[in-house]
Every structure is written in structure tokens, then in C-alpha cells.
Amino acid sequence: MSRLFNKHIIVAISGGIAAYKSAELVRLLKTAGAQVEVVMTRGAIEFITPLTLQALSGNPVHQHLLDPAAEAGMGHIQLARWADAILVAPCTAQVMARLAQGQADDLLSTLCLATQAPVLLAPAMNQAMWNDPATQANAQLLIERGLTLLGPDVGEQACGDVGPGRMLEPGQLVIELEQIFSSHAWQGRKVVITAGPTREAIDPVRYLSNHSSGKMGYALAQAAVEAGAQVHLISGPTNLPTPIDLQCTQVQSARDMLSACQNACQDADIFIASAAVADYRPAEKAEQKIKKTGAKSGFSLELVQNPDILATIAADFPRLTCVGFAAETQQLVAHAQAKLKRKQVAMIIANDVSEPGIGFNSDENQVCLVTAEGAKQLPRLPKTQLARQLINHIAQLDK
Ligand code: PMT
């Protein structure tokens, strides 16, 4: 399966003759399983119609920065946050110049400024324009600022010139784009990740659980795979498809999760506990469904404490780099620092689960990294993007 499967890709098309190749680019990205949104500049629609791109991407094309209909749906900031990567193809000399100046005077340039995702440019222009010192200086500046240039290719141009300035072929752009989702930060490392909730049975039909969807843990598992790790995901019950290229063990209760972790951690290097493990379970599971008794009579359930998986694994495997999460509703950093010490781990990733739109069962999260050295706040991001940043931070601990 392609690394682009399920990735959110914005293809931003500017006004050059190579825009006709962007239709094929979008088609190839869709074939690879990516979700594609297309942005077109005014120049681009002189070369190719939005209808073509809409038909190929399966989504309406975004053309305007301030479009009331779009802002009511997926506005420009949401679009910038949605993206796992933005590929500007073709990227004209004029767009390169505007990006180098940090302008935000149309949708394309605003998205490139507003996004936290990687921005890749596929330059396409006449060879003299590409070789001009102004364009070369802009290219250099954009690379220094962290944008990636793909190409240009050398060859015969639409204007009859021969030289550098041709847009890379769509197939090549797809291969290059796949590369950004496969870093080597964890090449050869064995990583165990817990995700999702646990379910603690009350009787054959009822259980105690919580709102964890598994999205954070699954995103971490996918990002660890992309970083080259051999990943064992130990998951409580979720509705998520299993990420590709990893081993997944499904469990129900905290005690099942602990025993799966103990087996998996024997030869692991890194343990990340993102699961929302139930702290307590019913002292006994009723053999039969518990029946309602009198109309007004209450019902009490005796609970006993579950094992602390993270603390147990950290104590049993002292050479493992252990990272936990902290789901807090107040005093985020203070509680995370207490967990760091109590569980004897290298890092606690703290999230405020009382904040709307982040934490449990949401697509975005905002976390604070707490280590013995201090606390570092990360920006609010989609969990898929945040996971990639977290992998890089954890890789620093694991050196
Ligand atoms: O799954 P999502 O919907 O994407 O939501 C993500 C999340 C909110 C669940 C995730 O970001 C998160 O915060 N996970 C930890 C939830 C939690 O149980 O936090 P805690 O503060 O209660 O536990 C602290 C740490 O100890 C966690 O790493 C937890 O996995 C671990 N723990 C807790 C209890 C226990 N019995 N055993 C454990 O290992």
C-alpha cells in the first residue's frame, strides 16, 4: 500500500502551461489512496478548468481566499490545518517570488504561510526565468526556510527552449511526495505503542470504559512506521482500520493490555503509552446479565484498582525509553510532572482534555511535552501531523 494512503494532500496549481499535467498528478494521488483538495490560482484556470480537477479529485476546487461559501465549510485556515502536505505544481516564478516575500494575497500563498505541514514546490518556467539570479535567490531562500523544491527537470520546453525549468513528471512528483512520509529517524528501532480505551466487564453485556477513540495512538503508530520503526500496536477496542506495515494486538481489559505489553516489550527499544487505561475495574464480573430489581432500588458496584501498565513496564524494562501521556483537566504541567516522577518515565505528553476540539475522540490535539528538563508547548495540530512531530521529539530522548 502506498505511503500516501489516507494522507491529506493539497495540490495547489498556479498559472503555467504545465498545469495540464496537474490533472494526471491528481489522478495518480487518488489512485495511491490520498485524499486530495485542489487549489487553483486565477492564472491556473486560464490553462485548465476547475471542473476537470473537481472530477478527478472528487472535491470542489478552492479558488478564492475570501469565499463566503468556503469559509462556512472548509475555510482557508481549516484547509491549512487539514493538509498533511501542500504540493504547488506547477509553481511559477511569480509564485516562488511571492512565497519568498511571505505574501498572503491569495488562497495559495495564504495556505503556504498558514500551514504547519510540509510545503513542496514543483517549479515550472522558461529556462531563462529559472536561471535568473532573482529566481535562484528566491529558490535558495525558500529552501533555507524549510520548503522543498522538487525539480525542475531539464529538457525541451513548451516555448521551444531547451534547459532547466520543466515540471517533473506527475509520476516522479508522487514518488517524491511519498518520501516525505518515510523518514529514517527510527530505522531499525522496535517500538511498542498502546492506543484506545480499555473495557472492564461488569457482566456479559456491560462494561466500564471511556471516550478514547484510539486516533492519537494510531497516528503515532503510523508515524513510527513512516520513521522506519518496527511497530507493535496494542489496541483497546476502536473503530479504526489497522494502520499498514505493523503488528497489531487487540485487547479488551487493562490486564489483557498489560500482559500484551509485557510480551511485546521483551525486545523493544521504545514504549509509548497513549491508551486511556481504566484505573479501576469491577471487583467481580457477574456470570449472568445483572437484572434490574425494584423500581427505586439503587445499585452499587465494588471497584478494585487496575495495574498501572506504564509504571509496571518502566520498572520491569529499565533500558526501555518509556513515554506516557497525561489526560488532565486542570494544572496540566504540575500533574504531568508528578506522573513523570511517579511512573519513572522519560517524557509525559500532557493534553488538556477539558478543551473543546482536542483530546478524547477528536481529530486534533494540543500537547505539552514534560521532561526532567522542563515543559515545551506544541501548537494545536491534526493528530496525524502532531504524531510526526512527537516521533521526532521522542527520537531525541532515545539517542
Ligand atoms: O484516543 P483518542 O480519542 O485519540 O484520545 C487521545 C487521548 C486523550 C486518550 C490521549 O491523548 C491521552 O491522553 N492518553 C492517556 C489517557 C490517560 O489514561 O491518561 P492518564 O493521565 O490517566 O494516564 C497517564 C499515563 O499512564 C498514560 O500514558 C496511560 O496510558 C498510563 N496508564 C494509566 C492508567 C493505568 N492503569 N495504566 C497506564 O498505563
List, in sequence order, the alpha helices (H) in the chain.
19-31, 44-47, 50-57, 68-72, 76-82, 93-100, 107-114, 127-131, 133-144, 170-179, 215-226, 254-264, 309-316, 332-343, 383-397
Q: How confident is residue 73, by pLDDT bands cut at 50, 70 and 90?
A: low
Mean pLDDT, residues 325-341 taken together: 97
- DSSP for residue 330: S
Angle between helices 93-100 and 107-114 (to 10 degrees): 40
Q: Which of 91, 112, 159, 368 is catalytic?
A: 159
Ligand 1 centroid to 45 CA: how many Å? 48
Give the residue whose CA is nearest to atom 13 of ligand 1: 327
pLDDT of 71 reads 66
The pTM assigned to this predicted structure is 0.81
Q: What average pLDDT is seen over the chain?
A: 94
Quick check: 135 and 96 in contact, CB under 8 A?
A: yes
Q: How much distance in Å is there from the Cα of 197 to the middle of ligand 1?
A: 8
- Nearest alpha carbon, ligand 1 atom 5: 360
Query: Helix, strand or coil for residue 168?
Result: coil
The verdict on whether 261 is a catalytic residue reads: no
Q: How far is CA 14 from CA 45, 77, 237, 285, in A?
A: 8, 20, 45, 63
Segment among 4-13, 65-74, 367-376 with least mean pLDDT: 65-74
From ligand 1's centre to the CA of 254, what distance in Å? Answer: 12
Query: What b/e readout covers 330-356, taking b as 16+ CB neighbours within 10 angstroms?
Result: eebbebbbebbeebebbbbbbbbbeee
Q: What is the pLDDT of residue 66?
A: 83
pLDDT for res 72: 64
- For residue 92, what pLDDT band results from cuts at 50, 70 and 90? very high
pLDDT of 243: 83
* pLDDT tens, position by position, 93-108: 999 999 999 999 999 9
Provide the angle, in degrees to the nearest 10, between the axes of the packed helices 254-264 and 309-316. 20
What are phi and psi for residue 276, nearest 5 degrees? -95, 90
Domains identified in the chain and CATH numbers: 8-179 (3.40.50.1950), 190-281+301-397 (3.40.50.10300)
* pLDDT reading at 278 higher than 70: yes
Pocket of ligand 1 (CB under 6 A): 194, 196, 212-217, 254, 273-277, 279, 306, 308-310, 324-327, 339, 351, 353, 359-361
Task: Tell me: pLDDT of 295 over 80.
Answer: no
Residue from 325, 329, 370 whose mutation best tests the ligand 1 pocket (most atoms within 8 A of CB): 325
CB distance 223 to 387 below 8 Å = yes
Q: Return d(Cα 16, Cα 139) in angstroms, integer.
A: 18
pLDDT at position 88 over 90: yes
Q: Which tens digit of pLDDT belongs to each residue from 285-294? A: 999 999 887 7
Question: Of the ranges 11-15, 69-73, 122-126, which one carries the lowest mean pLDDT score?
Answer: 69-73
pLDDT in tens, 164-183: 999 999 999 999 999 888 77
pLDDT mean over 77-81: 91
Evaluate the CA torsion angle 181, 268, 395, 221 in order and state its sign.
positive
Please check the confidence at residue 398 and state whether its pLDDT lies above 80: no
pLDDT, greater one: 157 or 265: 265
**How much is the average pLDDT of 116-143?**
96
